[in-house]
Amino acid sequence: MDAEVLRQMLTERRAAIKPESLGLIRLDPRGRKSPGLTQAQMDDLLLRAPGTYGKLERGVLDNPTPEYLRDVADILGLTEEEWVVFYGYARGEQPPYPLTRDGEVSVPAHWMQMMNAFPVISYLCDLEWNVLAYNEAFAAIFPGRLAPHNTMHWMLFSDDARDRVLTDWETSWAPMVAPQLRAALAQTGNNRTLRALADQCLADPRTRDLFTSIRPGHAHPDGAERPLHHTELGPGWVTVSVCAPLGSRGTRLYQLLFRPEGAPRQPALPGRWPVAGRDPADFFPALSARSQGRAAQSHQTPRQAAAKNPGPKAVSSPGAPGAGGSS
């Protein structure tokens, strides 16, 4: 928790709200009206014990719940972007869900411009896998360039997905996709869309066992490589990358890099450097030249290390092979 910046943020936002706008009036001891909500009025609006909000504003409220923080954000009129910042100051982590309660999410216009500029397959969806925006490369995957409204529903139940586009659907796609749906349902509670998808999954003989018998080790799709028969480009593989735009909470950006069958894979990026080698700007004096040297040495092959540090010089003895003198 960053108590100082949290206090500043909440104090400023609270002072900007007129009590009259919420049917309240604030009077100081001398009877003059003062701007902004009081901490006591915040407790009343939040239905909490006196002093609770004051502890939050001072940064001493122990482990505030996500629900309480969202109620505070609602009263203070925070935007989605401010909600992310506020939650990070209060709990030191990303919020588990967007601020909006009605399921509506907004996608800034610049994301559509960015996706149109991407040559790779790109699309934005919400936490229910409803497609919000996509580029032409995404549409080209599907027969007739008819992009689906919900990618989860399409991947699990569409005949085009099962029999034409998602190569090896039974073993390479469905066993990975169904667990994602079940995990999302567990994380979001009784979400109507996800519940409907789960019910359809349980009613379909081809997906029922995949949903109920989760195999160990299933994970999120980021980094997955799966076979795909591109409607226009033919057979190949897609590598999936997933991220969450900061300015549009509740959305995910999916990018699929298509590799035609027979084309070589891109080489992997280097692994992580040792801790002692993560200071390229020399910010930390503790990372001395000696520790930098150890970091460099850890990346040498045994032959390179031996050439650099050959060790003590061997001393020849009389009569030994290679020793000087007559034989």
Rg (CA), the chain: 30
CA distances from 307 to 211, 290, 302 (A): 57, 19, 9
> For residue 8, what are the CA distances in angstroms to 13, 55, 84, 181?
9, 13, 16, 40
Structural contact between residues 4 and 32, judged by C-beta atoms closer than 8 angstroms:
no
pLDDT value of position 96: 76
What is the predicted pLDDT for the residue at 247? 66
pLDDT score at 288 = 52
Tokens of 260: 């035609």
- pLDDT one-digit tens code per residue, 113-163: 888 888 999 999 988 999 999 999 999 999 999 999 999 999 999 999 999
Please name which of 172, 176, 174, 129 lies closest in space to residue 148, comparing C-alpha atoms: 129
How far is 115 from 255, CA to CA, in rounded Å?
A: 9
**Interior angle at CA 56, CA 54 and CA 58, nearest 5:** 70
Tokens coding 232: 């226009």
The contacts of residue 121 (CB under 8 Å, 6+ apart) are: 135, 137, 138, 140, 141, 238, 255, 256, 257, 258
CA distance 95 to 189: 16
pLDDT for 68? 94
The 3-state DSSP class for residue 283 equals: coil
Can you give the pLDDT of all 327 residues of the chain as single tens digits? Answer: 678 888 999 999 999 998 888 877 765 555 445 578 899 999 999 999 999 999 999 999 988 999 999 999 999 999 877 888 899 899 988 787 777 765 566 677 788 888 888 899 999 998 899 999 999 999 999 999 999 999 999 999 999 999 999 999 999 999 989 988 888 888 776 788 999 999 999 999 999 988 887 665 555 788 889 999 999 999 999 999 998 887 676 788 999 999 999 898 878 766 655 555 566 666 666 555 555 555 555 555 545 555 555 555 544 444 444 444 433
